Amino acid sequence: MSAPAHTQRDFHLHNSFTFWIGRLANVMKDAFNQKLASWDVTYPQWMILNVLHHQLADTPAQIAENIGVDRSAVTRLLDRLEAKNLAERMHDGLDRRSVKILMTRQGAALMDELNEAAREHQQLFLSQMHPTELRAFKTNLQKLLRAGDVDTISIWRHL
């Protein structure tokens, strides 16, 4: 059986930026998860701890918005973090529906190590680029995200 004839309108997977960006994201997340395993923390759990550490959020809804996942995923992640005594839910005495998320002392003590691991992990990948390329890469990522209605200008810290 012969291969199908390809036309100009035919779009090959390996010409897809979506495919390659997704592949890069998976490679980076998998490598970081391997690094975090020694602390029994996953990448999504680290994202929550990092957001709490930097006081960017203190409710499940705010956490979900900050890390780009839905609230049900945050609930499951918080369950795991609570089981590990890294975060805790505090219910408002007047309104039990109102929940604040706090990092425990154990979670706070772990953050220096986890954030150093994150710095090392990121540097492993970013060291492949010249500083000029890195600045251009960040700018181009921000443009692509803005095309998908994700504004990073006010929240992405300097490299």
Q: What is the largest CA-CA distance in the chain?
A: 71
CB 57 within 8 A of CB 78: no
How far apart, in whole angstroms, are the C-alpha atoms of residue 30 and residue 42?
A: 10
How far apart, in whole angstroms, are the C-alpha atoms of residue 73 and residue 63?
A: 10
Helices (H), 11-153: 17-36, 43-53, 60-67, 71-83, 105-126, 131-147
What pLDDT, in 10s, does the model give residues 110-129? 999 999 999 999 999 999 99
**Within 13 A of 79's CA, how many CA atoms are on the CB side?**
6
In the CATH scheme, what architecture does the domain 34-147 have? Orthogonal Bundle (1.10)
pTM of the entire predicted model = 0.83
Torsions phi, psi for 128 (to 5 deg): -75, -10
What pLDDT, in 10s, does the model give residues 50-107? 999 999 999 999 999 999 999 999 999 999 999 999 999 998 777 767 899 999 999 9
Q: Is the pLDDT of residue 159 over 60?
A: no
